[in-house]
Chain A
Amino acid sequence: MKNQSKNIFRRDFLKGLGAIPLLGFFTFKFRDVIAVEAKKKHKDYLRLLGIESLEAPKVRLLPSTGTGTNRIRIGLIGNGWRGDQLLQSFGFIHPNQVKENTVNGKYNEWLTTFLAQEDLNVEFAGVCDTFTLHANRGLEISMNDVRPGGGRGTTKPVKIYPTYREMIESKEIDAVVIATPDHWHAPIAIAAAKAGKHVFLEKPMTHSIEEAIELRNTIKSTGVVFQLGHENRQQMSFRIARELIQKGVLGTVSMIQTFTNRNGPYGAWIRKRKYDDQGNPDNINWKEFLGNTPWHEFDPKRYFNWHRFSEYGTGFTGNDFSHQYDCINQVMRVGIPESVVAMGGQYYYKNCGDMPDVLNAIFSYPKKGLTLTYDGTLKNGIYRENYIMGSEAAMYLDLGIKIFQDDYSERYKDNGMDSSEPLYLYTGGTEVDAVSSATARAYIKGGYGSTYIDGKVIDASFLHIKEWIDAIRNQTKTSCNIDEGFDEAVTFNLANLAYVNNKKVLWDPLAEKVTMV
């Protein structure tokens, strides 16, 4: 009896220590595991890179400049799909967008975010478009009072100008936004600058090198505030990348690779939009669209898919490489290459224009000791970041940044890191959702959608336009000014010349002349 109760007591007593063996195992083993874990989990990226701190992420949003009565009157030239997007960045949307984003009388997340956008204090004062429906849509947009700042009760119908000529001559317009097909970019921007209007010009800057030279000279001589529409200038990851490269984290950069990968007609700029079916010679000013290009009978394909016709568009390089190039140029200050070769062809989308589907271009910079390449295909949609390859490390750059040390790096050889693990990681504060199309996802991931600044996720196009508006008011500089635009326009146009002529193209920076060999 006594023994039994002793046993029960012992069993009972031991019950309370049930978890102790496990704790023993934990204590015995955790130090080995933790050494690996702690190192992996809390890497001090900046110390690994040999950098004390980074300045770029400390940048704060600039305060509004539009608080007083200094309202800027904007004229929009070209209210197609991009014009529409730009108006949104200015704070103007179509009443239908309000309807579509209102559920049970309440604004949804998208509309609420839009209304919280800073009121830039601009007036949508003029619009013109060769397509009447687009111009009328501008009028409908101007009448919508649901906008950031509550519209301040100043809604008035936008004036529709027959062409850009009347608009730039008007005393009721202070600045113009140009979102036309590429062949009209330079002629309109030059005329507007000469008329003293500030210019926001969509990318790519010009259709030819000659136009780029003339536009640059005009902007410089007139002194108007110019911004080229590469909104990725506002991308935080590019700013951080620039600082990291300036501080030497990659060592000597010998090669930069850029890419476009798209698959399907939409990605190949064969697009059918809402109003395209309604376009006809009665509501499209066909002659005005053609401008100085060779005469053709009215052709909706040419009008709505102008990107694919070299008379109007700038092809692969102007449409997409210009983005990648502007990313690299702001990060690395590569400038214009000394020579360019390009090859490719139109193999798949043969019934619309002369734009190639596959293109490879090599941009050579012997004085800088590096080569920049561009590989584009419209028949494969795999995603690739821009790669910047240095003697010490390689950088994968888009909305985020990944840096991998080189196995043969002198600088990083003692830091104990595996070259398959990133030495530095910046995620950009935004993740791409799974709903958007592949082309849209690549666009967002590429850094052209939103950026992360001052603890907030903000649309890059809005910031880019704000920068232009603030620069007009404060006479400050824009980030994608005429010199930056000149680099972009000359570089991609060199590739187009090389492709079309199937020759190596040389650039003489002093004479600003092209020779082909």
Chain B
Amino acid sequence: MKNDNIAQSYSNWQIFSLTFLRVLIGWHFLYEGFVKLFSSPSWSAESYLAGSVGPFAPVFKDIASDPAWLIVVNYLNIWGLILIGFSLFIGLFARPFKLFGIVLLSLYYLAYPPFAALVILTPVEGSYWIVNKNLIEMAALFVLFLFPTSGITGIDRYFQKKS
């Protein structure tokens, strides 16, 4: 069954719960983006990237040490978070933005992968092994990608062809 057709067979509670999940994730992204946008002194991913651990750490550290790259990465991160958040929140162009969200979260995941040997080296709250909140949010976005609601409870509704 195609994704678009799945939406036709949702019950009201299914629509509600999927929409609720979409709005929650949208809220999270939007808020993270705005905090970074409005923080003073201006926010930078430098220390986050410089402290990264794991197999991809050299790549993230290289970005942190290059001022030009940092500007680009900071800009993409802040506006990525805001646009993804806004899109999920109101259900506008939600399909591609869910994928962008998964890509962004996967970068956060890879910068601080919760693998057993690295866990003790990284000062983070909570205890995680392989599964952390980033991975769960990625999985939730993937579910939303396969079970879309923006065509029912989002602005995307007005851009769809009437069946």
Q: Which residue numbers of A lie inside 8 Å of B, CB to CB?
A: 15-20, 22-23, 26, 30-31, 34-35, 37-39, 41-42, 44, 47, 109, 427, 429-433, 455, 457
Contacts and interface: CB of A to CB of B under 8 A. Distances in A.
Contact of B120 (A15, A17, A26, A431): A431
B60 to A, nearest CB: 11
B77 to A, nearest CB: 13
Interface string B24-42: 0011001100111011110
A345 to B, nearest CB: 39
Given A20-B90, A37-B35, A44-B41, A427 B157 contact: no
Given A16-B155, A16-B157, A455-B50, A47 B117 contact: no
Contacts of B50: 455
A91 to B, nearest CB: 21
Contact of B35 (A34, A109, A429, A433): A34
A39 B121 CA distance: 27
Contacts, number: 77
A17 B158 CA distance: 10
Given A16-B91, A20-B90, A38-B39, A109 B117 contact: yes
A142 B31 CA distance: 59
Nearest to B117: A109
Given A26-B30, A42-B43, A15 B157 contact: yes
A400 to B, nearest CB: 9
Chain B, interface SS category = helix
A433 B116 CA distance: 11
B30 A429 contact: no
Given A19-B91, A430-B120, 5 more contacts: A26-B30, A35-B38, A39-B40, A429-B123, A430-B121
Contacts of A457: 121
The 10 closest A-B pairs by CB, nearest first: A16-B157, A38-B39, A18-B153, A42-B39, A427-B123, A44-B41, A433-B120, A19-B23, A109-B117, A42-B43
Contacts of B61: 455
B111 to A, nearest CB: 13
A44 B42 CA distance: 9
B125 to A, nearest CB: 11
B89 interface: yes
21 contacts: A16-B153, A16-B154, A16-B155, A16-B157, A17-B155, A18-B19, A18-B153, A18-B154, A19-B19, A19-B26, A19-B90, A19-B154, A22-B27, A22-B89, A26-B31, A34-B31, A38-B35, A38-B39, A41-B35, A430-B121, A455-B61
B120 to A, nearest CB: 5
Q: Which of A15, A41, A42 has the most CB of B within 10 A?
A: A42
Contacts of B38: 31, 34-35, 38
Interface residues of B, number: 34
Contacts of A30: 31, 34
Interface of B: 19, 22-23, 26-27, 30-31, 34-36, 38-41, 43, 50-51, 57, 61, 89-91, 117, 120-123, 152-158
Contacts of A16: 91, 152-158
A435 to B, nearest CB: 9
Contacts of B36: 38, 42
A34 B34 contact: yes
A431 B121 CA distance: 6
A5 to B, nearest CB: 14
Contacts of B23: 19, 22
Contacts of A109: 117
B121 A47 contact: no
B18 to A, nearest CB: 11
Contacts of A35: 38
Contacts of B19: 18-19
B41 A47 contact: yes
A427 B22 CA distance: 35
A431 B156 CA distance: 46
A37 B120 CA distance: 27
A431 to B, nearest CB: 5
A31 B27 CA distance: 14
A23 B88 CA distance: 11
A218 to B, nearest CB: 42
A15 B152 contact: yes
Contacts of A430: 120-121
A22 B22 CA distance: 12
B160 to A, nearest CB: 10
A430 B36 CA distance: 26
B153 A42 contact: no
A19 B153 contact: yes
Contacts of A427: 123
B70 to A, nearest CB: 15
A30 B152 CA distance: 27
Contact of B121 (A17, A26, A41, A429): A429
Contacts of B34: 30, 34
Given A16-B155, A431-B121, A455-B61, A23 B39 contact: no
Contacts of B120: 430-433
Contact of B39 (A39, A47, A433): A39
Contacts of B156: 16
